[in-house]
Structure 1
């Protein structure tokens, strides 16, 4: 009792015994299951650091200090209540989330696309040929000669008419994010809206020439070109189209349309006026356009002469 009082008196005088200093320095934290518990300064209680030893219940000394003795055979007792659960690592938003987002973003099934292709494919070829194209169009509620079918072939990147290869069909359905007849049908308004863009229509227009060629052909036959011009301009027809087609039909000697002539005709329809008054024969137009303008002027002059003759007769 006197020893404890002397310790208190010496603490009040500022001289702390060396053994208490060492005891305090070593009594900062206690580790439980790999986690350290900070010391609690309230009431002057301190928790000893122990890595491999078990802790017993705290003991309050006569001078008011709380001590936790260690013993390899003692149970945890009160210290058991101070146990902390191991820290749970945070959930990382890494590759797992990316996989989930990419999977959830896929709104089509590749296996369904292959199964859809098999419904229409030819029995001898790994492609959808004429008969299969007709059945496909029937299920899509369209006609094979419709503008929508041409746009669909453009989206599929078809190499030739009346044929969808396995690769073209699968890649096209993936690009449209569809795997069913209903899915393809639902995309028609979107595709038609897309080709309203001048650049997209220009791409479709140039695709149509290649689409009309048969295997080994380099020049589009005039009869096929006439049909394709009617088809590609079925939504928005240039004012000179009908006169142009009449000119071709009245000149059977024009057997084929070169690629350059086909491509330049789109520019031609946009450059000349309804009466061809804006046509400049000094520009680098194909010679076939010169023949057309001359033919149209002759037709106009003949109409004028005929009208005069009629007036004179009256």
Structure 2
């Protein structure tokens, strides 16, 4: 609202007794008020030194205020990559958009995304299929089979991440990588990886050693334990080890957390899988041979 300014007028002339006009014999001249910058004529007085605004009548030019000019919209700060990322993940997700995205990569003959579709999906995500973040993404989708996303896995995974576009999925990569730095989350990812590597179509129960080696390299690619390379070399040298049982896979994570690089804290009285006992014996023999050679 505009602010009423002081009236630009002379002081009110006193009334003569009986209501007669002043000695000049002339009526009070019309006074001019400025209200919100609009000049308005006034012909009445309250007697208290304050003018009464005239009553508005049809056709009069009386105005209470002058509208202010429309203010320009306030510019939003930011525009940074982080602000865009947050805007992508904060809005409601659309199931219809997720399904449209699924159809972009779905196999022509199967109601799922297969190897070719996953390769194209990764290209659009600007990552390689063998990258760690793709493994984490498959874990978030709770995929049952490698190189395959079913319709329900893709839909529920996107809903869980609150994304419905390729850009939205990309925006979640930092969060996914941060999430699996948590010990319990990584343990869940690690154990899921074993099931992910199995060939369910053939009813496979034990992970082939070659596949296990590849998955160990991948799952530990962000935080490699000191003993990993020695372990993988042991498996590669002993070609008679054809497969890795699930209990060995699971216990190896505990093994990496409890033993040092030199295996000095290994306790053979604990119930470790026999393959880990063999590995420790092999490493001790090799280290002793190295000492004798020196």
Task: Give 3-state SS (helix, strand or coil) of 1:187's partner.
Answer: helix
Q: Which residue of 2 aligns with 1:294?
A: 281
**Could you list the runs of 5+ residues in structure 2 that have no partner in the other structure?**
1-89
User: Which runs of 5 or more residues in structure 1 are unaligned?
Assistant: 1-104, 308-314
Alignment partner, residue 9 of structure 1: none
Residue 180 of structure 2 corresponds to residue 205 of structure 1? no
2:255 counterpart of 1:268: yes
Which residue of the partner structure matches residue 123 of structure 2?
Answer: 138
Paired residues for 1:98-117 under 5 Å: 107-117=92-102
Pair member with larger Rg: 1
For 1:196-226, what per-residue CA distance to the aligned partner results, in whole angstroms no more than 9, with x for missing partners? 1100000000000000000111000000000
Structure 1 match to 2:171: 186
Deviation at 1:305, TM superposition (A): 1.7
Please state how far the C-alpha of 1:107 moved relative to its aligned partner. 1.4
- How far is the alpha carbon of 1:274 from its aligned partner? 1.4
Per-residue CA distance 1:106-154 (angstroms, 9 max, x = gap): 6111111000000000000000000000000000011101100000000
Which one scores higher on RCO, CA 8 angstroms, separation ≥ 6? Answer: 2
Distance in 2, Cα, partners of 1:274 & 1:114: 48
Deviation per CA, 1:257-308, whole angstroms, max 9, x where unpaired? Answer: 000000000000000111101001111000001100110011111111211x
- Specify the alignment match of 2:290 in structure 1: 303
1:163-174 alignment to 2 at 5 Å?
163-174=148-159
What's the counterpart of residue 252 of structure 1?
239
Specify which of 180, 185, 199 is matched with residue 214 of structure 1: 199
Q: Describe the superposition over 1:224-268 as per-residue Cα deviations: whole angstroms up to 9, x where unpaired.
A: 000000000000000000000000000000000000000000000
State the match for 2:107 in structure 1: 122
Q: Does the alignment pair 1:283 with 2:266?
A: no
Q: Which moved more, 1:178-187 or 1:105-114?
A: 105-114
After TM superposition, the score normalised by the length of structure 2 is: 0.68
**Aligned residue-pair number:** 203
CA–CA separation in structure 1 for the residues paired with 2:284 and 2:95: 57
Alignment of 1:213-252 (within 5 A): 213-215=198-200, 216-252=203-239
